[in-house]
A and B are shown apart, each in its own frame.
Chain A
């Protein structure tokens, strides 16, 4: 009889250490065992890919399925937003041709020129949020930058695009927060998922009765009316876009602001030369890599990746934060370098056919917010020592729960 040592769990972030570094252990795996086996909560296991080239190879290969019901899909283990097989799912949980068909229904809404046309609106929303911050009396400071700016801006923007009443933001922010909390079990998340589905279901019903000028209304009056989309798919669509548009950009804004407050030399360069903002945002996306332990795939065939055979029916977890800190691709990867020539090669938005649909919007929001903050609040600084900032070690999307600032 042979006995094997138990597999290690997915690397997670220690409570101490630099808050901007990826979970401990990823760097060692990348060097020594770039495709390693990790234990899942349900007793199963999955491959963990940590090298940039392997991560791109896996995400760029449609033989790796995104369908959570595919054999071997690593559903358990801090999956956060992953629904159980069979649950209502958005197109990020689908493979072609279904994925292609559904994604293309909304691709135009997030294409570069549409987003560029939104830029003045993003600037106005940002200016209004900054005006409100500026009006706070000294006695009201510190201000929580997450609540004052980082969360409201993407929330306002995606609400506007989808036609979700912003007055309801307390509800959907609370629900999406619960859905993305990895300290909770699937069972504990279930009520929040049902409540969000019910909320969107009711909203879709309202749009059917009285369509407006927004994405959900257009899906109702065109794709749904032409029987290209079921009511259930339409609801899943709206939930996906609403959730994806929130926590992601919000946490990138918070972390970006914090890292620049702590690196005044870089902040100064960016303030002096605003044209550096595009490259700076790419580098901030690479450096922070807010997706923890994801995305995930299931092998539909035997595929060799980086010299390792991954067999059909085996699961794969792709460590985006590790790939984006791979020294072979990004020399001196642990340093924030806003003029890094290949920063935009990052996989912070994923890679392959599932690469973030909202990436142009996220980029525009980050460019506008960071430039505006640097210009309007040059003296902004964290109001507490970094060790006292509540980092989101408990969430699928990394960031700060709160970021108290003063100026």
Chain B
């Protein structure tokens, strides 16, 4: 799994952080998404897919 994020699209809703806190965080200065791990272990894949699904701004792209 390879994750990319589009900071320009991110609206800081933070749902990715709730769903997959080991993979996503928010930047202190502006709340915009920070990718902690672009290629997480298989155990986190379901949570990452869920984060991409619920991201309201479609800022998370997942390539499997």
Interface residues of A (CB under 8 A from B): 59-60, 100, 103-104, 107-113, 344-345, 349-357, 359-360, 363
Contacts and interface: CB of A to CB of B under 8 A. Distances in A.
Contacts of B58: 60
8 contacts: A107-B31, A108-B12, A344-B54, A349-B13, A352-B57, A354-B11, A355-B57, A360-B18
B56 A111 contact: no
B31 A111 contact: yes
A60 B31 CA distance: 20
Contacts of B53: 345
B28 interface: yes
A107 B13 CA distance: 8
A129 B22 CA distance: 35
Contacts of A353: 9, 11, 56-57
Interface in B22-63: 25-32, 50, 53-54, 56-58
A104 B13 contact: no
A170 B28 CA distance: 34
A8 B14 CA distance: 39
B17 interface: yes
A359 B13 contact: yes
Contact of A112 (B11, B17, B32, B56): B17
Contacts of A104: 12, 30-32
Contacts of A60: 56-58
Contact of A356 (B13, B26, B28): B13
A107 B12 contact: yes
Contacts of A110: 12, 14, 31
B58 to A, nearest CB: 7
B8 to A, nearest CB: 8
Nearest to A350: B56
A352 B59 CA distance: 10
Given A107-B32, A108-B27, A344-B54, 15 more contacts: A100-B11, A107-B31, A108-B12, A108-B28, A108-B30, A110-B14, A111-B12, A112-B18, A113-B17, A344-B50, A350-B56, A353-B9, A355-B13, A359-B13, A359-B14
Nearest to A359: B13
Nearest to A106: B31
Contacts of B11: 100, 103, 107, 353-355
Contacts of A113: 17, 25-26
A344 B9 CA distance: 21
Contacts of B50: 344
B54 A112 contact: no
Contacts of B26: 108, 111-113
A72 to B, nearest CB: 23
Contacts of B9: 353
Given A104-B30, A107-B32, A112-B26, A357 B54 contact: no
